[in-house]
Amino acid sequence: MALKQVVKHFWYTTSQQPGESAGTSGTYGVWADGAPGIIFQHHQGHSAILNTAGTPFPLSFAYGQSTRPCTNQVTGNPLLLGISFYPTAFKKLFSIDASDLTNTLLDAAQLFTPSFIEQLLHTADPRQIIRLFSQRLAQQLLKYPQDAAIDESVRILQQATTRIDSALLASRIHISQRQFQRRFKAYVGVCTETYQRIMKFQQALRLLRHQQYNKLSDISYHLDYADQSHFNREFKLFSGFTPKALQERLHGNYPAELSRMIRYD
């Protein structure tokens, strides 16, 4: 399926937990995960997600790379459905410079027709909503050229266990380091150095989640952080928590993997 080159997965959830009333509010935290996406959400036709200032989000919105954490409020018991993309998806699908979406969001009404958003609102079955998105995205994928070299560079960075200099990646496709960085940022949204730091943070998060360590310093040593203080600073920068604070908060339980870490309190 052609969409496999841009879509990692779809996800669906509700904010209401067993035993909670329909009016219960919750929160979800956005952490750096290296992936952009789209969320469609509503409660009885109205936005159910509010930012920290209390302003409602659009019913459907696209978000770019995140390099800083934030927490949003979810009200009622809304339908929440999202698409988690591979890093270069927005450039491929909509010819959008991904750096324009970094740490921000875009009303999906600027990506899709009003009639499409209206169609989503009148579709109750999440599987049907996924089919509608899939059809529309497949059409978009045919419109714009791809950049296989940047895709390959992203794969190399994702699999790397040590830092890779962007000059090396540039030399593989025979362009200058400056040209490569400009192309990479346009497709991915951040520079290669920042993307590598996010991938390293995600590795630390997986180790913490799966309790694959004896003590927290084992994680910083395994991932070659300069020292424990550097590990703590980087982890808090991308998540809002120190490793120890998150360890205590999770108590061995981590939410299902969605496009973003979503935790309802």
Query: Domain of 129: which CATH number?
Result: 2.60.120
Is residue 104 in some structural domain? yes
- Residues 45 and 168: their CA atoms lie apart, in Å, by 50
Beta strands in the chain (DSSP E): 7-13, 26-30, 37-42, 49-50, 60-63, 70-74, 79-85, 105-107
The burial of 109, by beta-carbon neighbours within 10 Å (0-12 exposed, 13-18 middle, 19 or more buried), is given as: middle
Is residue 120 in some structural domain? yes
Is residue 248 in some structural domain? no
Give the residue ranges of the chain where pLDDT is below 70: 1, 14-25, 251-265
Number of domains the chain contains:
1
Domain carrying residue 22: 2-141
pLDDT of the residue at 162 = 85
Is residue 217 in some structural domain? no
Map 212-261 to HEC letters: CCCCHHHHHHHCCCCCHHHHHHHHHHHHCCCHHHHHHHHCCCCCCCCCCC
Bridge partner list, 60: 40
Is residue 193 in some structural domain? no
pLDDT of the residue at 1 = 67
Is residue 164 in some structural domain? no
Is residue 241 in some structural domain? no
For the record, the structure tokens of 164 come out as: 């890779």
pLDDT of the residue at 260 = 40
The 3-state DSSP class for residue 65 equals: coil
pLDDT of the residue at 251 = 57
pLDDT of the residue at 254 = 42
User: Rounded to two decimals, what is the model's pTM?
Assistant: 0.88
